[in-house]
Chains A and B, each alone.
Chain A
Amino acid sequence: MKYSLMALALGATLLSGNAFAAKWDGGDDLPTNPLPCDGGAGTMAAKAYDGAAVTGSVDKSGKPITLVDVPKLIGIGYFNATTKGMQDAAKELGNVKVTTDGPTEAKIDEQVKFIDNYITRGVDGVLFAANDPVAIAPVLKKALSKGVHVIGYDANSTPDAREWFVNQAQFNGIAKAMVDNLAKEIGEDKSFGIVTSTFTTPNQARWIAEMSAYAAKCHPKLKWLETVEAQEDNILSFNQASTLLNKYGDQLSGLMGMTSVATPASAEAVTRSNLCGKVAVVGLATPNAMKPYVASGCVKSVVLWNPVDLGYAAVYVTRAVVDGKLKAGATSVEAGKLGKLSVVNGSEILLGSPFVYDKSNINNFDF
């Protein structure tokens, strides 16, 4: 009896495996929301505005304003890039002055001190990328209570401590960019493997689940072989990627790297195995780590967002808030050369599709 039940269960598992496209390992079980195949915006559950309100601010609509930008830390390529975007936007607008200032280490207590000092000194708005979403809330609330506008970018605070947050990328957007680029590079009916951090790392699990759903919808012939875990370890990632290449041989046409460590390590493994041009690597990574492989032609697309655009959008959003053009309930906001950006999740501005770094543009970035 026991055995027949087990056999039944086994049979059912095998059947279901054949009947439905198996979900990829390493994804989570949360509901997915794959974007349309053609690049449309997709459906977004409507959500009421959940940001905070500023009190006692002077109406400076159309008048010059002074902003301070306090990123997680200063002096690194990533935030140098957001600063550049902010200066570009300020120059274009003409009536905005932005200063970037912040701690030299990503420490929340230092960051709070910087923001506090600028509130005392008097500014019209604070832009921030939080080192800690909860610990930064009190000083931001203090700013709001003194009539200072508060806009986040890159790393959010709790929604009740800021007015708006510029969100660099949503899970389904990243997933679409990854799968589309992979299918473009290896072909629709080829096989690939994934190198991720761990099956339970929240962001990676979310991306893989969304990728699985999007591929089933838009690239049904693409064949997923295996997901391997490599933590955030360069050498382990290299070993895991090499082993995938050795295990599947000609069967494997692509590798997807889910972390900024796994992607360069996968590219390294493909390079060392002399498989450049035969096995494509598509993944999330920062440009600097990928430059050698993009330069050698081994890697064609690196998926991430563009931090210059992120800083640029943050300044445009702040200007729109001061001018009264972006209010609770709005569905989009104009952001200069980026066009109309949509409002998502109540009080977040979505930067748009992820940015794909390739041979033509990767050397313009240094982070």
Chain B
Amino acid sequence: MSATIAQAPARKWRFSLSQEWLLLIGIATLFIVVGLINPRFVASRNLQSILLANAYVAVAAIGMSVVIVSGNIDISVGSLIGVLASISGALAVAGVPVFFAWAIPVVISILVMMLQGALVAYLRIPSIVVTLGMLSILKGGLISVTNGVWISGMPDSFHLAQWHLLDLFIAAEPGKQAAVPESLSALKPMFDLLTMPVLFMLFLTLGAAWWMRNTAKGRSVYAVGGNAEAARLCGIPRERTLMMVFAVHGLFTGLAAVLFATQPSVIQSTVPPNLELTIITASVVGGVSILGGTGTVIGSTLAAILIAAIGSALIFVNISPYWLRAAQGILILVTVLADIYRRRQRGLAR
């Protein structure tokens, strides 16, 4: 038993690494091919659009990956992000200091997710049922409360997602891009890309990847997801681990919601359609096994970037965005096939 546990991490790391390389190759190929067709696709302006507008999906996919690795799923995440964004915007409009307009939704997100986690962990209700219920409650509740009225008139400083890295050091005025010093002007395109959502995406991905790989708590998620009974016999309690998983997921969902809310000038107070599917797709294509137990968040972030890039590429090559759904489906199938192939190679096919 102890041998299996000791062996498991190394094997999983190699597994997911190859999925990550696959995604990197996919992203590179896409940029080269579409870039050749229309060079504007790889212009820094378009790269910024792709990263900036989708970083929140990658952040939410980190939490989703943790949940799926633990052997669960959350389909309420899209609705929760919609609700939290409205709460955040409403607080800012009501004159609450912006820090609290950002922080309160994150706290609510953690609490809501822990509630769901408790139902899954202690009452042993399947997570798909719990989160389906939450999805309906949030979706219906949001429309009833807001009547579909959009939220606008947030103060400028609320728009965290519009801050650039340089704003922190040079200009104290958010939203207005700081002037790049003469000596650094060659690096300007890079600074343009380093907006808050992109920085959040980078640091949260690396932080979560480190936590999942190198800490006992992070490893326990894999253990519970791989085999809850075996994990219990090793002294890893399923219940407490799941509570932690959902709390972590709540944290990332809350942060994603803040990035989502602070980007536009107007918050559409309805639930973003199909957002949960896009987030789950990013996790699965990132190499997280839907059966639990394997996968990393670096993969899910790369997958989120790939999906966003495909969406943009479709317009550059004049293909209807409806193919984006089809493309996501193909990505999922390719991922699963690649996974089966790799398992076969190692003689692990089930």
B-binding residues in A (CB < 8 A): 73, 75-77, 105, 199, 226, 228-236, 238-240, 242-244, 246-247, 249, 261, 264-265, 268, 271-273, 288-289, 291-293
Contact = CB atoms under 8 A, between A and B. Distances in A.
B152 A232 contact: no
Given A243-B46, A243-B316, A246-B40, A292 B273 contact: no
Nearest to A269: B49
Interface string B238-276: 000000000000000000000010001110100011000
B154 to A, nearest CB: 9
Given A289-B150, A289-B266, 17 more contacts: A73-B147, A77-B149, A105-B144, A226-B315, A231-B273, A232-B273, A235-B260, A239-B308, A240-B315, A243-B311, A244-B315, A246-B45, A246-B46, A247-B41, A264-B150, A264-B266, A265-B264
Interface in B314-330: 315-316, 318, 320-322
A235 B321 contact: no
B148 to A, nearest CB: 8
A239 B312 contact: yes
A235 B162 CA distance: 15
B227 interface: no
Interface in B30-75: 38, 40-41, 43, 45-46, 49, 53-54
Contact of B49 (A228, A234, A242): A242
A229 B315 CA distance: 10
Contacts of B46: 243, 246-247
B237 interface: no
B321 A229 contact: yes
Given A105-B144, A238-B264, A230 B321 contact: yes
A246 B49 contact: yes
B153 interface: yes
Contacts, number: 83
Nearest to B53: A239
Contacts of B150: 264, 288-289
Interface size class of B (residues with CB under 8 A): 20 to 34
B153 A292 contact: yes
A268 B266 contact: yes
Given A235-B272, A243-B312, A249-B40, A76 B149 contact: yes
A272 B46 CA distance: 12
A244 to B, nearest CB: 7
Given A238-B53, A243-B316, A229 B322 contact: yes
Nearest to B265: A292
Nearest to B275: A235
A11 to B, nearest CB: 20
A268 B315 contact: no
A34 to B, nearest CB: 27
Contacts of A199: 320
Given A244-B315, A288-B152, A76 B147 contact: yes
A230 B43 CA distance: 23
**Taking each of B150, B153, B312, which has the highest tally of chain A beta carbons within 10 Å of its own beta carbon?**
B150
Contacts of B162: 272
Contacts of A289: 150, 152, 266
Given A239-B53, A293-B265, A247 B316 contact: yes
A238 B45 CA distance: 14
A268 to B, nearest CB: 5
B268 A234 contact: yes
B53 A242 contact: yes
B321 A228 contact: yes
B45 A273 contact: yes
B49 A292 contact: no
Contacts of B149: 76-77, 288
Contacts of A292: 152-153, 265-266
A240 B40 contact: no
30 contacts: A75-B147, A76-B149, A77-B149, A226-B318, A228-B315, A228-B321, A229-B320, A230-B321, A231-B273, A233-B272, A234-B268, A235-B260, A235-B272, A238-B53, A239-B49, A239-B54, A239-B311, A243-B311, A243-B312, A244-B315, A246-B46, A247-B41, A247-B46, A247-B315, A268-B264, A268-B265, A268-B266, A288-B149, A288-B152, A291-B152
B138 to A, nearest CB: 17
